[in-house]
């Protein structure tokens, strides 16, 4: 059954009244009719059974019944990553990382960033679409664009590492992930982190980490990290 994300639903909701645009999408694009059943999530781990109870030219009502609460994922993956120069590459990362179950994404503004502005609303839409498509119930948290310095100095629980391309002593990513600890990774832009950023990260407890011998693009490094983390905690 098709899954829909509605952030306005909670465990006390009995009736969901879609706004005009949502109604049009549900009834005109997806051709849902009165009596049709759908699955709904609030993105906070809850699944609801929904039944379309009213359809007019610009309204759609859904009767809601709470069905199941999925526990908060643990350990959690948090990737802070410099948005790529080409938007579609970053968007691909957002979609794939969501499919693989990431919990938090922070777009990073770095010393070598070519992209200095992002469209958070558009990014959010991609996360929602990927959540629905991959049938998950915890929408990843998407933060505002944050400077690398501010992020590096933040208090972070669990293990944290910096993935950079400079040739230094590094641990293989797979060997640094623990199955009982949250995991935060920072990934730089096309031109990599600056030496200043790398030094600051190491000074603040970020472990230099290798994503393998291949030269991966920024968005590939992000997806690679999500895949390895997912495999490691599920094995």
Stretch that binds its own copies, among 77-85, 116-124, 149-157, 216-224 (CB under 8 A): 216-224
Q: What is the Cα–Cα distance from 2 to 7, expressed in whole angstroms?
A: 16
Smallest gap, in angstroms, from Cβ of residue 1 to its own copies? 13
**Total of chain residues touching its own copies, rule CB under 8 A:** 29
Q: Where are the beta strands (DSSP E) in the chain?
A: 3-5, 15-18, 37-41, 46-55, 60-69, 77-81, 104-109, 141-142, 146-147, 159-163, 171-172, 183-187, 207-210
Does 213 participate in binding its own copies (rule CB under 8 A)? yes
Interface characters, 97-136, with its own copies (x: CB under 8 A): --xxx-------------------------------xxxx
Q: What is the Cα–Cα distance from 132 to 128, expressed in whole angstroms?
A: 6
Does 212 participate in binding its own copies (rule CB under 8 A)? yes
Pairing mode, strands 15-18 and 104-109: unpaired
Q: What is the Cα–Cα distance from 16 to 26, expressed in whole angstroms?
A: 13
Does 217 participate in binding its own copies (rule CB under 8 A)? yes
> Quick one: 180 or 215, whose CB is closer to its own copies?
215
Q: Give the binding site for its own copies (CB under 8 A).
A: 92, 96, 99-101, 133-136, 172-175, 212-217, 220, 223-224, 227-228, 230-232, 234-235
């Amino acid at each position: 059954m098709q899954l829909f994300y509605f952030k306005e639903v909670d465990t006390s909701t009995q009736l969901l009244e879609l706004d005009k645009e949502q109604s049009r999408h549900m009834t005109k694009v997806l051709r849902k009719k009165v009596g049709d059943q759908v699955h709904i999530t609030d993105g906070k781990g809850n699944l609801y059974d929904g039944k379309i109870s009213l359809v007019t030219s610009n309204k759609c009502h859904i009767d809601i019944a709470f069905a199941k609460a999925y526990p908060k994922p643990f350990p959690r993956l948090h990737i802070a990553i410099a948005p790529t120069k080409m938007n579609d590459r970053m968007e691909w990362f957002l979609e794939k990382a969501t499919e693989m179950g990431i919990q938090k994404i922070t777009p990073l503004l770095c010393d070598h960033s070519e992209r200095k502005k992002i469209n958070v609303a558009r990014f959010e839409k991609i996360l929602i679409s990927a959540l629905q498509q991959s049938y998950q119930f915890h929408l990843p948290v998407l933060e505002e664009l944050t400077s690398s310095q501010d992020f590096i100095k933040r208090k972070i629980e669990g293990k944290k590492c910096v993935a950079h391309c400079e040739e230094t002593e590094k641990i293989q990513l797979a060997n640094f992930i623990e199955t009982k600890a949250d995991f935060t990774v920072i990934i730089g832009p096309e031109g990599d982190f600056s030496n200043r950023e790398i030094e600051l990260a190491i000074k603040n407890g970020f472990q230099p980490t290798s994503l393998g011998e291949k030269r991966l693009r920024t968005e590939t490094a992000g997806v690679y990290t999500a895949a390895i983390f997912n495999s490691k905690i599920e094995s």
